[in-house]
A and B are shown apart, each in its own frame.
Chain A
């Protein structure tokens, strides 16, 4: 089911086409096919499918992509709120525990 998309117009993904060197790493790492390559440049074809995992930005050597990386997890948001931190997967049990 590749077409699954969540809320519209919320993704923080930004792209500066002028910096693209055409390495296509973003196409390689994006699990939701947000990018395609056209004329040796990356192009965003479906921004609403972006889940802000951050893989593209982390693997974009020239820094053409940026996104506020985060986990799309309500529990993480709640724990972050209760602990006064950013959303966290730690579920209040420290580094070695996980909920996902």
Chain B
């Protein structure tokens, strides 16, 4: 008989406290530096000294997910079962299917979980729900799936309270704090587009009624770069942060209003010898850029649906394109009138 596939994998022991390296790593990924390779090895881990009756907490192999779980279980004894999600957090991986039914069944079997625990159940983060079908896991592995709280910070209360969730533990939030954490990722991720836009807009600044002028390129170019940075930050940072207080349900609408507003204020403060048409052109472009970036924040938000995003994009993408084209024409024409 071949026992080669029954080799016991001795679970690794981990500490629930964060080291300095863990803290530095968490800060780095928040600013989008090397976040796709911030991983732990999938498999079964021991936290403290878990016995046969200890609970099994399932998480993703994105190191920040893993670290947040262990940090919130300081001083407790538990098993942690890490699924291979290619370094992606639970919710996103569940949406993609990597944090999924098959992977959970595979890890339960590969780690020989049945040898370590007697209560035959695993606690899956609630946000793993889009990828994990509890009844299918049970049918295939014999382990029941209990969907735990949304946030790891509620894990301790959930475990202490006999695996009962109240409505707050079940609900996804999108508070100011969450948005302040997510907005920098958005700001850093789209920086290259800001750079492309700057090359184009600074280049256009050199166009003048007396041919291509390097003086204009410099004078107008600085202003163009500043306007672009303003629209960029309005769409990628300010709009996400002010989200609930901006008008419209469409993220593109919220971003457009914010883009118009911040450009309007700055234009009034920086009114120069340029004709109104020049400012009108920039007004449209600023609104379009901010609208586009705010629309991209739908991906970071916790309450937008695909059907909704498709609906708003059918409305706002043509509008954004039209505003950029018309705005560019206005800016160029303004140099000849």
Contacts and interface: CB of A to CB of B under 8 A. Distances in A.
A14 interface: no
Contact of A72 (B171, B175, B309): B309
Contacts of A5: 249, 303
Contacts of A45: none
A98 B36 contact: yes
B244 A89 contact: no
A32 B172 contact: yes
A76 to B, nearest CB: 6
Contacts, number: 151
A54 B298 CA distance: 17
Interface residues of B, number: 51
A25 B134 contact: yes
B302 A31 contact: yes
Contacts of B130: 53-55, 58, 69
A10 B171 contact: no
A5 B249 CA distance: 8
Interface stretch (B10-18, B73-81, B84-92, B106-114): B84-92
Contacts of B173: 1-2
Contact of B305 (A11, A61, A100): A11
21 contacts: A1-B173, A1-B175, A4-B303, A6-B249, A7-B312, A29-B129, A33-B170, A49-B303, A58-B130, A58-B132, A59-B132, A68-B307, A71-B95, A71-B299, A71-B306, A72-B299, A72-B308, A74-B296, A74-B298, A77-B313, A89-B95
